[in-house]
Chains A and B, each alone.
Chain A
């Protein structure tokens, strides 16, 4: 699976067609719908909310995890333990940038041992953030199962990592920027794509960008 770009890519996605400076990919309602679907998928896959733990990757994975938990509560009436997992110290590109301060890691009181942990992030790109998250989780406990839910999968994986639950598959060029803004942290809400024309949409393996930006601000 490592060589495959986003595996379940929607063929009808028109994003590769034209590239004005800023194009809306998802608006606030689209995000809500996508999170609702992800919530249902998580419940379906897990056969209920038992032993579930949601861990958001800061910064924008955290409010996403909280929203998924709220939706699960509406559907199942269960409070799913939700926390955050910072990966700053575990990044493999730590030395390529000036030191960044770590974000909070908050593991729910019950811990993650023998639980089904769903990692939640806003954008899946190179896969390096997720690798770092798996390492970070190693130091906290040993879950029974780890799954990955992302709002946007933009392809260009550099590691054999794949999301289990995807809000939107977004074929993109490496030169483009995908921006996620959430009302919890920002003034606006939506997903935008910006940058130069997508000459090589979604082709992994080519030399180029070194990795996704850590916080998802420009993932």
Chain B
């Protein structure tokens, strides 16, 4: 494992396997009465979030606490960043307090890489603009491997057809997921309206070997898993599609589309969900929906990430 987790490119397929094995053990800790392991005693983890978050921030915080690290949350609002302090000054100030890891979310793509060059602490990218969100991709892949496995053992994604649908242009989850899923041998298709298909996706899709489509109903019948992505209204200045209703008709996982899916085809959504827009309530709450499994898996995977980055001696490879 490298020192930082900035991109899925930072981990090899072997690293992912190691992370998931550990995550599977961490998953069991969630069922214990005493949810505490001493592995990171005396380590300090700072959650530095310049963008809003519920599950990523709280799951990194709980993950750190269950490993006995001291975790502290700093948000953009309410910190000196709102007084005009630069990112560099904020980060150097925090680093000067002697922290071991910075879990960081920021609206600027590349900010995590930039920060990793300023500080000695391990930097974990919890979302940088529209670039990457590696821990989300890892937990999505882990959730699917668990779903495709038997007896609590992890299954394989080799050859599985995973369909990602939604606002790809603005989605860091999409970018990390495509990298992660192709690394694990999955056959990936991404579907979006032409306005939300990232420009320049063609050479990238050829290089990584994933398919692109504008027609959800054409791709859906062969899906082994469906991953709905959020329509990120906060990153849009309008004009990507005529109306929410039109988006739903073309690209939402509606009740009608749910009926065409096999009952064994898992449905994922990284959250937060826009119910009724990209995913119908029936689909979100269906028996085959893994939305809440993703949350508990997220905790296990983040414990594993923190453990592997912080527990050993200067864990650079």
Q: Do residues B34 and A94 form an inter-chain contact, with CB atoms below 8 A? A: no
Q: Which of A34-42, A100-108, A123-131 makes up part of the contact surface? A: A100-108
Q: Do residues B25 and A86 form an inter-chain contact, with CB atoms below 8 A? A: yes
Question: Please, which residues of chain A bring their CB within 8 A of the CB of B312?
Answer: 94-95, 97-100
Are A135 and B38 also in contact (CB < 8 A) when A99-B307, A104-B25, A105-B28 are?
yes
| Residue from A102, A135, A139, A140 in contact with B22 in the complex, judged by beta carbons closer than 8 Å | A102
Are A98 and B313 also in contact (CB < 8 A) when A105-B28, A140-B32 are?
yes
Q: What 1/0 mask marks residues of chain B from 14 to 57 whose CB sits below 8 Å from any chain A CB?
A: 00001001100100100010101111000000000000000000
Q: Is A192 an interface residue (CB 8 A)?
A: no
CA distance A88 to B39 in the complex (A): 8
Tell me, rounded to whole Å, the shortest Cβ–Cβ distance linking B137 to chain A. Answer: 20
Question: Please, which residues of chain A bring their CB within 8 A of the CB of B307?
Answer: 89, 99
Q: What 1/0 mask marks residues of chain B from 187 to 225 whose CB sits below 8 Å from any chain A CB?
A: 000000000000000000000000000000000000000
| Residue from A89, A90, A98, A101 in contact with B21 in the complex, judged by beta carbons closer than 8 Å | A101
Tell me, rounded to whole Å, the shortest Cβ–Cβ distance linking A4 to chain B. Answer: 29
Tell me, rounded to whole Å, the shortest Cβ–Cβ distance linking A74 to chain B. Answer: 28
Question: Please, which residues of chain B bring their CB within 8 A of the CB of A94?
Answer: 39, 311-312
Question: Please, which residues of chain B bring their CB within 8 A of the CB of A140?
Answer: 32, 34
Residue of B nearest to A138 (CB): B34
Are A96 and B313 also in contact (CB < 8 A) when A89-B38, A139-B34 are?
yes
Q: What 1/0 mask marks residues of chain B from 298 to 311 whose CB sits below 8 Å from any chain A CB?
A: 00000000011111
CA distance A86 to B310 in the complex (A): 19
Q: Do residues A102 and B313 form an inter-chain contact, with CB atoms below 8 A? A: no
Instruction: Among B18, B311, B312, B315, find the residue whose CB has the most chain A CB atoms closer than 10 A.
Output: B311
CA distance A140 to B32 in the complex (A): 7
Instruction: Among A88, A99, A139, find the residue whose CB has the most chain B CB atoms closer than 10 A.
Output: A99
| Residue from A89, A96, A97, A104 in contact with B39 in the complex, judged by beta carbons closer than 8 Å | A89
Q: What 1/0 mask marks residues of chain A from 141 to 182 whose CB sits below 8 Å from any chain B CB?
A: 000000000000000000000000000000000000000000
Are A101 and B18 also in contact (CB < 8 A) when A94-B312, A95-B311, A140-B32 are?
yes
CA distance A96 to B21 in the complex (A): 22
Binding site for A on B (CB under 8 A): 1, 18, 21-22, 25, 28, 32, 34, 36-39, 67, 307-313, 315
A-B contact pairs, 9 of them (CB 8 A): A89-B38, A89-B39, A94-B39, A94-B311, A95-B311, A99-B310, A101-B22, A102-B25, A104-B25
Q: Do residues A99 and B308 form an inter-chain contact, with CB atoms below 8 A? A: yes
Q: Do residues B313 and A139 form an inter-chain contact, with CB atoms below 8 A? A: no
Q: Do residues B313 and A89 form an inter-chain contact, with CB atoms below 8 A? A: no
CA distance A90 to B310 in the complex (A): 15
Q: Assuming A97-B313, A99-B311, A102-B25, what are 9 further A-B pairs, CB within 8 angstroms? A: A89-B39, A89-B311, A90-B39, A94-B39, A95-B313, A101-B18, A101-B22, A101-B25, A101-B308
- Size class of the A contact interface (CB-based, 8 Å): 10 to 19
Are A99 and B315 also in contact (CB < 8 A) when A86-B25, A105-B25 are?
yes
CA distance A105 to B315 in the complex (A): 24
Question: Please, which residues of chain B bring their CB within 8 A of the CB of A135?
Answer: 38
Question: Please, which residues of chain A bring their CB within 8 A of the CB of B18?
Answer: 101
Residue of B nearest to A100 (CB): B312
CA distance A149 to B118 in the complex (A): 51
Question: Please, which residues of chain A bring their CB within 8 A of the CB of B22?
Answer: 101-102
Tell me, rounded to whole Å, the shortest Cβ–Cβ distance linking A9 to chain B. Answer: 34
Tell me, rounded to whole Å, the shortest Cβ–Cβ distance linking A94 to chain B. Answer: 5
Residues facing B in A96-122 (CB within 8 A) are 96-105
Tell me, rounded to whole Å, the shortest Cβ–Cβ distance linking A139 to chain B. Answer: 4
Q: What 1/0 mask marks residues of chain A from 65 to 101 whose CB sits below 8 Å from any chain B CB?
A: 0000000000000000000001011100011111111
CA distance A100 to B308 in the complex (A): 8
Shortest Cβ-Cβ A-B pairs, 6 listed? A99-B312, A98-B312, A89-B39, A99-B311, A89-B37, A139-B34
Residue of B nearest to A135 (CB): B38
CA distance A103 to B32 in the complex (A): 16
Question: Please, which residues of chain A bring their CB within 8 A of the CB of B1?
Answer: 99
Question: Please, which residues of chain A bring their CB within 8 A of the CB of B38?
Answer: 89-90, 135
Q: Do residues B25 and A139 form an inter-chain contact, with CB atoms below 8 A? A: no
CA distance A104 to B153 in the complex (A): 12
CA distance A95 to B43 in the complex (A): 11
Q: Do residues B36 and A139 form an inter-chain contact, with CB atoms below 8 A? A: yes
Question: Please, which residues of chain B bring their CB within 8 A of the CB of A105?
Answer: 25, 28
CA distance A96 to B312 in the complex (A): 7
CA distance A89 to B307 in the complex (A): 9
Question: Please, which residues of chain B bring their CB within 8 A of the CB of A101?
Answer: 18, 21-22, 25, 308
